[in-house]
Amino acid sequence: MLEEQRPSLAPTFGYLMLGSLFWAVHLLVVYAAHTLICALASSPTASSLTVVALTAILALPVAFVLLNQRRTGRWFGISDELPDRKTYDAISRFIGLLSLAGILWAGVAAAIVSSCATGR
Amino acid sequence: MAVDRELPNSLPRPEGELEALERAWALPKGFRLITAVNNQAIGIIYIGVALLFFILAGILGLIIRTQLAVPGNNLVGQDFYNQLFTMHGTTMMFLFAVPVVEALGVLLLPQMLAARDLPFPRLSAFAMWAYVVGGLVFFSTILYDLAPKGGWFMYPPLTLSEFSPGNNADFWLLGIGFIEISAIAGAIEIIVGTLRTRPPGMTLARMPIFAWAMLIFAAMIMIAFPAVILATMMLEIERAFGWPFFSAGKGGDPLLWQHLFWFFGHPEVYIIFLPAAGLVSMIVPAMAQHRLVGYRLIVVALIATGFFSFGLWVHHMFTTGIPSLSLGFFSAASMAVAIPSGIQVFSWIATIAAGRKPFRITSASLFVLGFLFIFTVGGLTGVMVALVPVDFQVHDTYFVVAHFHYVLIGGMVFPLFATLYYWIPMISRNMLSERLGRWVFWLMFIGFNLAFFPMHIAGLLGMPRRVWTYPGDLGWNSYNMASTVGAYILAAGVALFVIDLFRRFRPTMSGGVENPWSAGTLEWLPSDAYATRSIPFVTSREPLWDQPSLAREVNEGRHFLPGAPTGGRETIVTSAVDALPQYVIRMPGPGWSPLIASLGMAGFFLLLTVKLVVPALISGVVFIVAVLVWAWSLDHDANVPAVDIGAGIRLPVYMAGPVSHSWWAMTVLILVASSLYLAYVFSYFYLWVVSPDVWPPEGSPALPHIFWPGIIGLLILGGTVLLLFARRILPAPGSTSRAFPFVVALAMACFLVALTGEIWGHWASGLRPADNAYATMVYMACFLNLQVITGCVFLAGFTIARYFTGKLDKERRVNFESTALLTYYAAAQFLLGLVIIHVFPRVAI
Ligand code: HEM
Ligand SMILES: [Cu+2]
C-alpha cells in the first residue's frame, strides 16, 4: 500500500465521531449561552431563541453529512478502496443519526420549558 | 497439506530461538517476583487486590445493613455510620470498580492483541503498586476512626475544615489523589497499547469489542478524571490554606464542587460499565458459538455512550436550583443515553438467538443473563429518575440507593463474575467449579434482588439515604429486614466464590486450560510468559474460528517475530488504523524502581497529610531518585541494526518522533493536562458568573499594567523559540554541540522567570490568594503553570544529563522530543492563562 493513501488516526476517529462532536458542541453552547443570558440579561425570550437558533445551526451540518456520507468519508481520508471502508462509513452514519436525534431532542426542551425560571 | 498458506516465517526454526525468547521474558524467582513487570503477573495481583477491596467494602456494606435491619438499632453510632457509608461508597467506586477494570485491561488486552506486553510495562507496575499502597493505607483509616465521613462525593461546605476538622477528609482527598494518578497512568498505557501494539492485520475494524471498550474507557478517564483532580486539589488547598474556592462568603461557590465532581462522577458510572459491556460482548459470542450480531452497532453504542455520558452530570444536581431549561437539557440527555445501552442489549439478545446450537448455560453465561436482567431494571429506574419531577421526589432517598446498586452491581459486578469464570482458565491450571458456580450465581442473584428491590419501596415511602437509624412506626421495618437478609445471602454467594477460588485457582502463564469455550479471539492462543510464540497475522475478527490452523502455526513460530532478535523483551508496533508493522519496541524487564517509586510517592503524600514534613520530603526524594533510575534505562541505543520479523519485513528497533510510542504517551499526557486546564477555565468563568462583584476593578486590587503580562508573554515565546532552536543544533551521533545544553537551560530559565514575574506582579498589586474567589483563581492559574513547568524543568534537566553522558543526539532523541512537546504545551497553557487573567477582567462588562 502506498504511504500517502494510508488512513491516519486523527482523521479516522474524527470521521467516526463526527456526529458526536457536533452533539458535544451543541450541548456546550446551548448550556453556556442560555445560562449566561439568563444570568446576565435575564431575558427568557432571548435565551429560548438563542437555543433554537443554535440547535438549527448545529443540526444542519450533521444532516448534511448524513446525506453525503461517502463524500465526507473521502474528505477525511477514508478512500473508496480501503478494505474496512464500509464499517467506518456505517459507524459514522449511525453516530450521526444518534447525535442528530440527541441535538433535536435537547433543543426541543426550549419549546417546552420556560427558559430562566429556577427549577426549584 | 493444501492449507499451508504463505506464512511469514518458515520451518524449521533456528536453534536457540525459543530459548532466547524464554530467557528474555522469564519471571524473576522467589521474593523478587514482586519486581515482575509481565502483564500477566501484574494483572493477576492487580485483580486480586481489587477483589480484596470489593470484599472489604462489601463487609462495610454488611455492617450498614446489619445496623439498619431493625429500627432504633445502636450497633454502630452515628459518627461511625457516616464513616461506614463514606468508605463503602468510596472504596467500591475508586478502589474496586475502576481499578478492577484497569486490571482486566492489563491482563487481557495484550493477550487479545497477541502483544508480548503493554508498551510501558513498568508504568503498569507503578500504577498497580501505587494503588495497592495508597488504597490499603486509605482503607485502614476506618480502623482508627480517621475515615472521612462526608459521603462518597464529599460535598463542601460540609467537608471544609470548619465543618470537618481533623484529618479525616484529607485522607479522602489523598487516597483519591492516588487512585487518580494510577488511573491516568493506566489510561495512557491502555490507549497507546490498543492503538499501537495490535498484531499486524488487525485493523481498527477488526479489533475485539473489549479493545474498543477499553479505548473509550481510557479516553473517558482522560477527560473526566482531570475535573475531579482539579476539584480535589482545590478542596485540599482550601482546607489547608484557606483559599476560598467553595466558600460563598468570599465569592466562592459550593456548587462549583458539585459541577466538577459530577462532570467526573457521572461518566465514572460509564467508565465502569463500558468495559463490563465489552467483556459481555466477548463472552456472549463464545457461548452462542456465533459471531457478535451488530459489531458495528456495538461500536456505535460505545462511542455514543462515551459522549452522551458527559452531557448528564447536572442530573445529580436537579434539586440545587438551576434554570429549568438546563434541567430540560440534562433530563433529555439522560434519557437519550439509554438508547445506546439498549442497542447493546438487543445485540446480545440477537447473538444469543442467532446461534445455531442452543446458548450454552455455563456459570459465565448465567452471570451474563443475570446482568441483562438486573441492568435493565436499573436502566428503567434510571429513566425514571432522569425525569426532573420524579427526581425531586426521590432525590436522596433509598430509591436512588436501589437504582444505583442495580446499575453498578448489575452492570459491573455480574459481568465481572462472568469474566472471572470465563477467563480464569486462561491463567490457571484449573477452571473454577461449574457446579459451585451455579450456587454462587443463584445465591448472588436472589440475594441481590432481595437486598435491593425492597429499597425502591422504602425510598418511595420516604426513607432517606445516609441515616444511621430510623423510628419503627413509619412502615419501613419489613423492607429493611428483607434487605438485610438479602445482603447476607448475596454475601454467602461471594464467600462461596472465594472458597472455590482458593481451592481451584492455580495461576500459571504456560499451563492454562486450552480454549475451553472454543472462542474465536486471540487470547485463547497457546501462550507463555512471552505471550504467544509468534505474533499472528490477523485477517478477521475471530481469527481462531476463521483460521483453524492458526494456533498450530503461531506455536510453531511461523508468524511474526518468533524470537527475541535483540536479546531483550520486544513486541511489534503497528500503525494505529490499519495495523501495518512499523517498528519493534524494546521493553524493560523486571526492576525495583516502579515499586520503590510508588512507595516513595505514597510516603510523601501520606506523611504530608499527617504533617510530618521532613520524613515526607525524604520520601519525595526517594520517589524522584527511583523515577530517575527507572527513566534512565528506558531510552535505548539507537545504533542497533533493523531486525527481520518475517515475510521479508525488516523493522527498526529505535524510533523517535511522531511515530514512536513515547511521543504518543506524551501526547496523551498533554491531553490530560489540557482537560485539567479546561476544567480550571470553566471554574474561573463559573465563579465570575456567580460573583462578578469580587473581580477587579471593584472587588479586588487593579491588575498589573498590561505592559507586564506583555513582557511575560514575550519571555514565554522566547523560551519556546529557544527550544525550537535547540532541536536544530542537536549534535550528530558521536559529535558534540556545545551550545545545546545552554540553549535548553536558557529556555527553561525563561519559563521560570516568566512564572515568577507573573506571581510577583499580582502579589505586588496587593492581591493575596485567600482574599476572595477571584484571587484564588489568579493564583490557581499560577499553580497549574508551576506544575507543568516543573515537569518541563525536570525533563529538560534529564535531557541535559543525557547529553553530557553521550546518550543524546540527532538520532537518539526521544528524551528531547518529550521535553520539547511538554514545553510547547506549557507555553500554550501559560499564554491562554495570561489572556484570561489579564485581558478578560478588562473587557468584561
Ligand atoms: C456487597 C453488597 C453491597 C451492599 C450490601 C451495599 C449496601 C449499601 C447501602 C445500604 C448503602 C446506603 C448507605 C446509606 O445511604 O446510609 C450503600 C451506599 C453506596 N454503595 Fe453499596 N452496597 C453493596 C455493593 C456496592 C457496590 C458493588 C458498589 C459500587 C460498585 C456500591 C456503591 C455504593 C455507593 C457509591 C454508595 C453511596 C455512598 C454514599 O452515600 O456516600 N455498593 N451501599
Ligand atoms: Cu449520573
At B144-166, the pLDDT tens digits run 999 999 999 999 999 999 999 98
Position A5 scores a pLDDT of 62
Q: Is A41 on the interface with B (CB under 8 A)?
A: no
- Structure-block grid coordinates of residue B579: 495495523
Q: Tell me the whole-structure pTM to 2 decimals.
A: 0.95
> Does any domain span residue B557?
no
Ligand 1 centroid to Cα of residue B693, in Å, is 41
Final residue of a structural domain among B446, B475, B504: B504
- Long-range contacts of residues B598-601, Cβ cutoff 8 Å, at least 24 apart: B598/B126, B598/B129, B598/B130, B598/B132, B598/B133, B599/B129, B599/B133, B600/B624, B600/B625, B600/B626, B601/B130, B601/B178, B601/B181
> Cβ–Cβ of B331/A109 closer than 8 Å?
yes
Position B610 scores a pLDDT of 84
DSSP H or E run through B210: helix B209-241
Residue-by-residue DSSP string for B85-144: HHHHHHIIIIIIIHHHHHHHHHHHHHHHTT-SS-S-HHHHHHHHHHHHHHHHHHHHGGGG
Position A2 scores a pLDDT of 40
**Ligand 1 pocket residue status of B85, Cβ below 6 Å:** yes
Count of other CB atoms within 10 angstroms of residue B734: 9
Q: How many residues does chain A have?
A: 120
Q: How far is residue B308's CA from residue A103's CA, in Å, rounded to a whole number?
A: 11
User: What pLDDT, in 10s, does the model give residues B226-249?
Assistant: 999 999 999 999 999 999 999 999
Q: Give residue B553's identity as a one-letter amino acid code.
A: E
> Cβ–Cβ of B304/A116 closer than 8 Å?
no
Cβ-Cβ contacts under 8 Å, A94 against chain B: 296-297, 300
Q: Is A95 on the interface with B (CB under 8 A)?
A: yes
CA-nearest residue of chain A to B299? A91
Instruction: Provide, rounded to the nearest whole percent, the portion of chain B with pLDDT above 90.
Output: 82
Ligand 2 centroid to Cα of residue A66, in Å, is 30
Ligand 1 centroid to Cα of residue B93, in Å, is 9
Q: How far is residue B299's CA from residue B293's CA, in Å, rounded to a whole number?
A: 12
> Cβ–Cβ of A108/B332 closer than 8 Å?
yes
Predicted confidence (pLDDT) at residue B815 exceeds the cutoff of 80 = yes
Residue bearing the CA closest to ligand 1, atom 14:
B466
> What integer is the mean pLDDT of A9-14?
92
- Find out whether A63 and A23 touch, Cβ atoms under 8 Å: no
Give the gap in angstroms from C-alpha B14 to the nearest C-alpha of chain A: 31
Final residue of a structural domain among B481, B504, B527: B504
User: What pLDDT, in 10s, does the model give residues B578-611?
Assistant: 999 999 999 999 999 999 999 999 889 888 888 8
Cβ-Cβ contacts under 8 Å, B327 against chain A: 113, 119
User: What pLDDT, in 10s, does the model give residues B307-320?
Assistant: 999 988 989 999 98
CA-nearest residue of chain A to B692? A40
User: What pLDDT, in 10s, does the model give residues B641-659?
Assistant: 999 999 889 999 999 888 9
Task: Give the model's confidence band at B5: pLDDT under 50 very low, under 70 low, under 90 confident, else very high.
Answer: low
Position B650 scores a pLDDT of 93
Helix segments in B527-612, DSSP class H: 543-546, 550-556, 593-609
**Ligand 1 pocket residue status of B405, Cβ below 6 Å:** yes
Final residue of a structural domain among B447, B479, B504: B504
Predicted confidence (pLDDT) at residue B359 exceeds the cutoff of 80 = yes
Position B639 scores a pLDDT of 83
Position B463 scores a pLDDT of 97
B180 in the Ramachandran plot: left (φ > 0), alpha (ψ -120 to 50) or beta?
alpha
> Does any domain span residue B661?
no
Give me the number of domains chain B comprises.
2
DSSP H or E run through A86: helix A85-112
Q: Is B129 on the interface with A (CB under 8 A)?
A: no
**Ligand 1 pocket residue status of B118, Cβ below 6 Å:** no
**Ligand 1 pocket residue status of B486, Cβ below 6 Å:** no
Predicted confidence (pLDDT) at residue B2 exceeds the cutoff of 60 = no
Give the gap in angstroms from C-alpha B197 to the nearest C-alpha of chain A: 14
Task: Give the model's confidence band at B335: pLDDT under 50 very low, under 70 low, under 90 confident, else very high.
Answer: confident
Choosing from B401, B483, B498 the residue with most ligand 1 atoms within 8 A of its CB, the one to mutate for a pocket test is B401
Give the gap in angstroms from C-alpha B289 to the nearest C-alpha of chain A: 22
Q: How far is residue B752's CA from residue B800's CA, in Å, rounded to a whole number?
A: 17
**Ligand 1 pocket residue status of B465, Cβ below 6 Å:** yes
Ligand 2 centroid to Cα of residue B722, in Å, is 47
Position A119 scores a pLDDT of 65
DSSP three-state, residue B584: strand
> Cβ–Cβ of A34/B323 closer than 8 Å?
yes
Count of other CB atoms within 10 angstroms of residue B535: 29
B216: CB partners within 8 A, 6+ apart: B274, B302, B303, B305, B306
DSSP H or E run through B586: strand B581-587
Which letter does DSSP use for residue B649 in this model?
E
**Ligand 1 pocket residue status of B403, Cβ below 6 Å:** no
Task: Give the model's confidence band at B3: pLDDT under 50 very low, under 70 low, under 90 confident, else very high.
Answer: very low
Q: Is A111 on the interface with B (CB under 8 A)?
A: no
Which letter does DSSP use for residue B673 in this model?
H
Predicted confidence (pLDDT) at residue B468 exceeds the cutoff of 50 = yes
Q: What are phi and psi of B585, to 5 degrees?
A: -95, 135
The radius of gyration of chain A from alpha carbons, rounded to an integer in Å, stands at 18
Q: Is A80 on the interface with B (CB under 8 A)?
A: no
> Cβ–Cβ of B324/A83 closer than 8 Å?
no
- Domain span at residue B496? 23-504
Residue among B203, B326, B335 minimizing CB distance to A35: B326
Which of B57, B47, B49, B56 shows the shortest CA–CA distance to B101? B47
Position A3 scores a pLDDT of 47
Cβ-Cβ contacts under 8 Å, A88 against chain B: 204-205
Residue B71: asked if its preceding bond is cis (omega within 30°), the reply is no
Position A1 scores a pLDDT of 37
DSSP H or E run through B573: strand B569-574
Task: Give the model's confidence band at A113: pLDDT under 50 very low, under 70 low, under 90 confident, else very high.
Answer: confident
User: What pLDDT, in 10s, does the model give residues A67-112?
Assistant: 999 999 999 988 888 888 999 999 999 999 999 999 998 888 777 7
Q: Which of residues 43-72 of A touch B (CB under 8 A)?
A: 47-48, 51
Q: Is B103 on the interface with A (CB under 8 A)?
A: no
Q: In this predicted structure, which of A31-45, B492-506, B766-780, B803-817 has the lowest mean pLDDT? A: A31-45
CATH number at residue B356: 1.20.210.10
Predicted confidence (pLDDT) at residue A4 exceeds the cutoff of 60 = no
> What integer is the mean pLDDT of B291-305?
95
Position B562 scores a pLDDT of 93
DSSP three-state, residue B596: helix
CATH number at residue B801: 1.20.120.80
Instruction: Provide, rounded to the nearest whole percent, the portion of chain B with pLDDT above 70.
Output: 99
Give the gap in angstroms from C-alpha A59 to the nearest C-alpha of chain B: 15
B412: CB partners within 8 A, 6+ apart: B97, B101, B272, B273, B276
CA angle (B338 as vertex; B334, B339 as ends), nearest 5: 125
User: What pLDDT, in 10s, does the model give residues B49-93?
Assistant: 999 999 999 999 999 999 999 999 999 999 999 999 999 999 999
User: What pLDDT, in 10s, does the model give residues B101-147?
Assistant: 999 999 999 999 999 999 999 999 999 999 998 899 899 999 999 99
> Cβ–Cβ of A40/B845 closer than 8 Å?
yes
DSSP three-state, residue A21: helix
DSSP H or E run through B650: strand B649-651
The more confident residue out of B635 and B820 is B820
Ligand 2 centroid to Cα of residue B261, in Å, is 11
B829 in the Ramachandran plot: left (φ > 0), alpha (ψ -120 to 50) or beta?
alpha
- Structure-block grid coordinates of residue B842: 478588562
> Cβ–Cβ of A119/B318 closer than 8 Å?
yes
Lookup result for grid cell 438546563: B326
Count of other CB atoms within 10 angstroms of residue B201: 18
Longest C-alpha distance within chain B, in Å?
87
Q: In chain A, what are the domain boundaries?
A: 10-112
Task: Give the model's confidence band at B370: pLDDT under 50 very low, under 70 low, under 90 confident, else very high.
Answer: very high
**Ligand 1 pocket residue status of B490, Cβ below 6 Å:** yes
**Ligand 1 pocket residue status of B579, Cβ below 6 Å:** no
Residue among A6, A47, A106 minimizing CB distance to B575: A6
Choosing from B73, B75, B88 the residue with most ligand 1 atoms within 8 A of its CB, the one to mutate for a pocket test is B88
- β-pair type (B643-646, B581-587): unpaired
Residue-by-residue DSSP string for B342-378: HHHHHHHHHHHHH-SSPPP--HHHHHHHHHHHHHHHH
Q: Which of residues 579-598 of B touch A (CB under 8 A)?
A: 580
CA-nearest residue of chain A to B331? A106
Position B606 scores a pLDDT of 86
Q: Is B689 on the interface with A (CB under 8 A)?
A: yes
Mean pLDDT, chain A, rounded, equals: 87
**Ligand 1 pocket residue status of B583, Cβ below 6 Å:** no
Rounded to 10°, the helix B363-386/B434-460 angle is 10
What is the sign, positive or negative, of the torsion defined by CA atoms of B344, B348, B349, B353? positive
Residue among B328, B340, B578 minimizing CB distance to A109: B328
Cβ-Cβ contacts under 8 Å, B326 against chain A: 31, 34-35, 119
> Does any domain span residue B522?
no
Lookup result for grid cell 499451563: B511
Ligand 2 centroid to Cα of residue B41, in Å, is 35
